[in-house]
């Protein structure tokens, strides 16, 4: 048989749990909630060495791409300058062509309206014979 002391202890525990079960469960849930909060808001440990190496390699490739892009940009500017020069020359040639075309148009009209003597004079002065 059980001793009288154990029975009393069980009865006391049973009554204690019966009246304080809400407080005990709130304390347990509170501790779990605080643990989860700490777990969520604590920063994660540093990355592994492999991840650090991969990030360094990516940074290295990015820097190489930036230097390549800068050199390409410089080359593009040089080519753009050359293109502008060529465009300038082309527009100058167009102006000269228009002037030459106008000159020959005038001469053509002069020849249409000229007589034989004026035509001979024009050809002699032009070809020096």
Q: Phi and psi for 100 in degrees, rounded to 5?
A: -65, -40
> What was the pLDDT predicted at 71?
93
> What was the pLDDT predicted at 129?
60
Q: Cα separation of 87 and 74, whole Å?
A: 20
For the chain, 129 residues long, the average pLDDT of each consecutive 10-residue run is: 72 85 92 92 78 92 95 93 92 82 78 77 73
> What was the pLDDT predicted at 12?
84
- CA neighbor of 63 nearest in space, from 45, 47, 71, 29: 71
The gap from C-alpha 45 to its chain's centroid, in whole angstroms, comes to 31
């Amino acid at each position: 048989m059980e001793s009288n002391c154990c029975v009393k202890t069980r009865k006391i525990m049973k009554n204690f749990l019966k009246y304080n079960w809400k407080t005990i469960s709130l304390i347990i849930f509170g501790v779990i909630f605080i643990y989860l909060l700490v777990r969520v808001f604590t920063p994660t440990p540093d990355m592994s060495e492999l991840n650090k190496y991969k990030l360094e390699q990516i940074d290295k490739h990015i820097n190489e791409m930036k230097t390549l892009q800068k050199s390409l940009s410089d080359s593009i500017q040089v080519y753009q300058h050359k293109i502008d020069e060529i465009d300038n020359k082309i527009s100058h040639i167009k102006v000269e062509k228009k002037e030459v075309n106008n000159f020959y148009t005038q001469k053509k009209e002069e020849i249409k309206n000229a007589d034989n003597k004026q035509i001979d004079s024009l050809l002699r002065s032009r070809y020096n014979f």
